[in-house]
Amino acid sequence: MPHALFAHAARDLRLAEVPVETPGTGQVRIAMQRGGICGSDLHYYNHGGFGAVRLREPMILGHEVSGVVDALGDGVDGLAVGDLVAVSPSRPCGACTQCLRGLPNQCLNMRFYGSAMPFPHIQGAFRDTLVADASQCVPAHGLSAAQAAMAEPLAVALHAVGRAGEMLGKRVLVTGCGPIGILVILAARRAGAAEIIATDIAAPVLDIARRAGADITLNTATHPEALLPYTLDKGCLDVLFECSGAQAALVAGIGALRPRGQVIQLGLSGDMSLPMMQITAKELSINGSFRFHAAFPLAVQMMQQGLIDVTPLLTHSYPLAEFAAAFAMAGDRAQAMKVQLVFGA
């Protein structure tokens, strides 16, 4: 019997057997290969949720996944048994008000893998086999399974950079250099950013940020006033990508933005207070960036074409049975960037 990894509560993960499913019309069954542990997975593991989102029933974690097609349902074209696919966790309904407005990532009936936002929760993809809609599956020829599983976080970064609009020649600040922050650095550079400044409180991740292309890296733990020179003359940076979810990072970044600069907020860790007088006086724009949809196949394509290289982020992998060690490592920012589970090992 295949197994899946369930979160029951904070610090309570359990492997359990799940039945083998048969793909229906328009579906495929996938023998999972890789699954990346995301910040939201860590929130469920460490705290039982994040913000107002709490676990209310056992939920399979995981949404950064890839695998090999091992069965086809009726009516499936463009995929074959044996194909490596990146699996998008984004499954909008296509019929609600937000979908019809062209905002599928805001779907009112979203079935996003491993999400406790709705109840019953949407079960995730950390499992040995998964039945998915064929439309979720993007062929990942030429990529490794580990690279293909990075399509989801890369799509998050591409969506965020798209929210910022024209990037050519811009001076960019990225606060928080976890996997999403590093991928934003890569995406912003590919989009034409002229200068990228990255901040974090951990030296090891700043080293990776430099290797990813950040021009300047600042450790705000050892130098809390590191951004002060950028605040002169009302600020000088064009775009802030706030990827940490930390209020201190957001406030410091806002101080460094020039008048009519913009904030793109990606980090999710609960509500934060904003310096509204400064935002108003500098006429700043604040844009949220939440998930993605259309950016997912683009993420696969950019990796296939060698336009974005995610391999420096892939620091550790563990068999599914060693999930406890994997989650412990994923929470250790001194050692790990992206930790992946290996299925079928």
Q: pLDDT tens digits, residue range 263-279?
A: 999 998 778 899 999 99
Model's pTM, two decimal places? 0.95
Give the pLDDT confidence of 26-81 residue by residue, as tens digits: 999 999 999 999 999 999 999 999 888 899 999 999 999 999 999 999 999 999 99
- Give the Cβ contact number of residue 100 at 10 Å: 11
Domain ranges of the chain: 3-150+310-342, 157-288
Instruction: Specify the CATH number for 3-150+310-342; select among 3.40.1030.10, 3.90.180.10, 3.20.20.140, 1.20.120.140.
Output: 3.90.180.10
Residues 262 and 53: their CA atoms lie apart, in Å, by: 27
Cα–Cα nearest to 338, from 162, 193, 147? 147
Asked if 86 and 135 touch (Cβ cutoff 8 Å), the reply is no
Relative to beta strand 314-319, strand 53-54 is unpaired
> Hey, what CATH class is 157-288 in?
alpha beta
Residues 344 and 203: their CA atoms lie apart, in Å, by: 35
b/e map of 289-302 (b: 16 or more CB within 10 Å)?
Answer: bebbbebbebbbeb
Tell me the pLDDT of the chain (345 aa) as tens digits.
899 999 999 999 999 999 999 999 999 999 999 999 999 999 999 999 988 889 999 999 999 999 999 999 999 999 999 999 999 999 999 999 999 999 999 999 999 999 999 999 999 999 999 999 999 999 999 999 999 999 999 999 999 999 999 999 999 999 999 999 999 999 999 999 999 999 999 999 999 999 999 999 999 999 999 999 999 999 999 999 999 999 999 999 999 999 999 999 999 877 889 999 999 999 999 999 999 999 999 999 999 999 999 999 999 999 999 999 999 999 999 999 999 999 986
Strands (E), the chain: 3-9, 12-17, 27-36, 49-50, 53-54, 59-60, 64-72, 84-87, 129-133, 137-139, 171-175, 195-200, 216-219, 237-242, 257-265, 285-288, 314-319, 338-342
